[in-house]
Structure 1
Amino acid sequence: MLRIHFTGEDIRRIVVADRPDPLWDVLLSLHMLQDRAGTLAFGEWRRRTRAADAPSARLLADLARPWGYSPDFLTPGRGDADFDTQLDALLSTPRSRLQADMACLAAEAPLTRWAKALAAGNFGALKQLGEALTAYRRVALEPYQDLIHSQVMADRDRRARTLLSGGTDRLLADLHPSMVWRPPVLEIAVYADQDVHLEGRGLVLVPSFFLRIQPITLMDPSRPPVLVYPLPPRLGWLTPNSNRTAHAPRERVITLLGRTRAAVLEAAAGTGTTTQLAARAGVSLPVISRHTAVLREAGLLVTWREGGMVRHRVTGLGLAVLNGELPA
């Protein structure tokens, strides 16, 4: 579990970034690209990105493995600078920090020859890293910036309303279903056991369109504090038929299923427990259980047990329904 410890000064200095961070999105989209079991909402994006057959993605996969640690130096920003500025900061990482981060990566799996050269601060390896990041971003992210920006701004509006109606306590409590706010500690159920003491430095909350499961932070607690949180993907954000309007599919789904059941099905696009789906759809647990049963019977949802939890995910048929791929 990740535990972030706040002081009164830290609570006063919480900031929600007004845009995604370019290098965090590069890293997290690489994770999404490699995760074949990931949310179906990104199926078309994966298909297009893989079809580009960018050698840069294969090179960067040596650093951005789909699970486990990714070097902190790859994400120096907090949504506060453009790509070129952050890339300059990344390529200026001190050799001692490169070595320390790459040692953490090597502890999980052996490094490739190129990664070893990078860890040593080799100029050629750093130059190749910069070129790969630029080339990958051009293919995987740049074509979709307007779509991503619209989702980020909609989320930022929601956070502002939450802050105005419930203050900082509600902002932190409602940020993600995996988070529990027990003042003055924010607890997040993640794979690693980690404590971050802010000690008056504040915290920047950065939205990411490509983060898959739960909020994450840097492993090194001495670096500027940042918490990246996932935006739930809007189904139909990217479909093969690009001339559909953004709202027509959703209205047709609501007409077909009803507003609550459509919200439950959309909540299952990112996979989640019964409790998580209830939080995303804004309904009670008895209501969510009733609707998931109906959706499962219709073949729009699949449910399975994992440990002590019941998890749900939209099926291919369900995704087609949400994307507006319905008979006339």
Structure 2
Amino acid sequence: MIRIHFTAADFARVRFAARPAPLQELNAAFMTMFRPAPSPGGDLLTGRWRQRALRSLPPAVAPLADLVPAAARPPVFLDVFATGLTDALDAVAGTRPALLRAELERVHAHRTAPAPPWVRALHEGDAAARRLVRHAQRSAFDAVLAPVWDVVEDLHRAEFTRHALTAAEHGAGAALDGLVPGARLDGAVWECEGPGERVVELGGRGLELRPTFHWTGPPLLAEPPGHPPVLTYPAGSGPPPAPEGGTGTADALAGVMGRTRLEALLVLAEEHTTRGLARRLRVSEATASAHTAALRAAGLVASERAGRSVLHRRTALGGLLVRGRAGEDSVPSSP
């Protein structure tokens, strides 16, 4: 659970990032690629995206695995929120030597194997090692994000507009309340799900909110040096965006039905209420209801009322549409 304590000055300094940050989105993509297991309930489309993304990585990206060992929190100098790729790469390359050394020592402190020679050279300030990091990040961006960056920008613009309108009409508190499922503002304390237990006193620094479309886990909080705290939250309703002309029948079905409706069909291999489906798809209940209505009209989903709730499950026709075509036999239910 993340608990963020606001002052009056902090509420005045809450801002939504107007444009996506290339390296922040790249970090989110890598986290999704290397998650130890699929999200609860199985996420077929994200799994397919992960496989394609991993296959697309060139050998030049390999040094990034040395910088971010498994189970370690990445070095903070990779948390760069500049909105231009060149500026972001320059910021990483210009990391203060003291910070760079401290973070490399922290990340590698518990490793049994010694750090690779190039990491030791980076620790000692070697310019060629810094260029190696830059080349690895640029190669990773070109392989994973460049083909879909226009889509990411469009999605970010829509998310920014949605929250800007909410904040303008109802205030920053309402925008925070609706940021992610389960988030709530209690007086001057904002709570949301997050890794571990973390309490942050903003103390007048404000808070920057950044959506990501390549991460579906809990919100992530960073406190980069010289920058207000940044909360990165998942804003996508399905798998990460795929480039035009993506291969595979799942992509073709998503192109016809929309990714969220295809994801709903996959989830509804097991029965869900409208609220439960909305939670799984990370959309509002109204949006989930609209999707089930469209799928029901096409004969792909059946719905029945149970007390105050409505239960949905895909029909045999819906199963035929996705089984063997999206590579799916069944989607296990959430624990």
The answer to whether TM tops 0.5 is yes
The TM tier, using the shorter chain, reads 0.7 to 0.9
Q: Find the counterpart in structure 1 of residue 15 from structure 2.
A: 15
Asked if 2 retains the 8 angstrom alpha-carbon contact of 1:35 and 1:66, the reply is no
Shift of 1:147: 1.8
Is the CA contact 1:118–1:125 (under 8 Å) kept in the aligned structure 2? yes
Distance 1:263 1:34, change over 3 A: closer
Q: How far does the alpha carbon of each residue in 1:200-258 deviate from its partner, in whole angstroms, 9 at most, with x for none?
A: 2211111111123011122568753111111224469434269969873139959xx9x
Distance in 2 between the 1:35 and 1:303 partners? 19
Percent identity of paired positions between Structure 1 and Structure 2: 26
Q: Which consecutive residues of structure 2, in runs of 5 or more, have no partner in the other structure?
A: 290-305, 320-328
Task: State the shift of 1:16 in Å.
Answer: 0.7
Question: How many Å separate the matches in 1 of 2:240 and 2:130?
Answer: 38
Q: Is the counterpart of residue 112 in structure 1 residue 122 in structure 2?
A: no
Task: Say if 2:56 is the partner of 1:48.
Answer: no
Q: Is the 8 A contact 2:238 2:260 kept in 1?
A: no
What residue in structure 2 maps to residue 6 of structure 1? 6
1:42-121 matched pairs, under 5 angstroms: 42-65=46-69, 67-77=71-81, 80-107=82-109, 109-110=111-112, 112-113=115-116, 114-121=118-125
Shift of 1:304: 3.7
Matched, 1:204 2:212: no
For 1:304 and 1:135, the matched residues in 2 are separated by 36
1:170 is aligned with what amino acid?
A: A
Give the count of matched residue pairs: 292
Provide, for residues 138-192 of structure 1, a one-character-per-residue CA deviation record: whole Å limited to 9, x for no partner: 1111111112222222222321332234321111011111433223122232223
How far apart are residue 278 of structure 1 and its match?
A: 8.3
Partner residue of 2:31? Answer: 31
Question: Structure 1: any 5+ residue segments left out of the alignment?
Answer: 306-328
Does residue 249 of structure 1 match 2:251?
Answer: no
Alignment of 1:1-328 (within 5 A): 1-35=1-35, 37-38=37-38, 39-65=43-69, 67-77=71-81, 80-107=82-109, 109-110=111-112, 112-113=115-116, 114-218=118-222, 223-234=227-238, 237-238=241-242, 239-240=246-247, 248-250=256-258, 276-277=279-280, 280-282=283-285, 290-291=311-312, 294-295=313-314, 301-305=331-335
Instruction: Deviation per CA, 1:78-132: give whole Å up to 9, x if none.
Output: xx43011111111111111112222332245456323343333332221111111
Q: Distance in 2 between matches of 1:211 and 1:155?
A: 15
* 8 Å contact kept, 2:58–2:140: yes
Counterpart of 1:302 in 2: which secondary structure? coil
The DSSP-based 3-state class of the residue aligned with 2:19 is: coil
In the alignment, the residues of structure 2 paired with residue 3 and residue 207 of structure 1 have an alpha-carbon distance, to the nearest angstrom, of 19
2: CA distance, partners of 1:68 / 1:15: 29
Alpha-carbon shift at residue 63 of structure 1 (Å): 2.6
d(CA) in 2 for partners of 1:288, 1:54: 49
Moved more, 197-206 or 58-67: 58-67
SS in 2 for 1:186: strand
Name the CA distance, whole Å, in 1 between partners of 2:110 and 2:199: 21
- Specify the code of the residue in structure 1 equivalent to 2:87: T
- Which of the two has higher C-alpha Rg? 2
SS in 2 for 1:217: strand
Match for 1:290: what amino acid? L
Displacement after TM superposition at 1:74 (Å)? 0.4
Give the residue type in structure 1 aligned to 2:26: V
Give the root-mean-square deviation of aligned CA atoms.
Answer: 3.8
Q: Which moved more, 1:22-31 or 1:147-156?
A: 147-156
Structure 1-normalised TM-score? Answer: 0.74
Structure 1 pair 196–247 and aligned structure 2 pair: CA distance change class (3 A): same
Q: Using the TM superposition, give the Cα deviation of residue 3 of structure 1 relative to its aligned residue in structure 2, in angstroms.
A: 2.0
CA distance in 1, matches of 2:218, 2:284: 17
CA distance in 2, matches of 1:95, 1:201: 25
Per the TM alignment, residue 21 of structure 1 is displaced from its structure 2 partner at its CA by 1.1
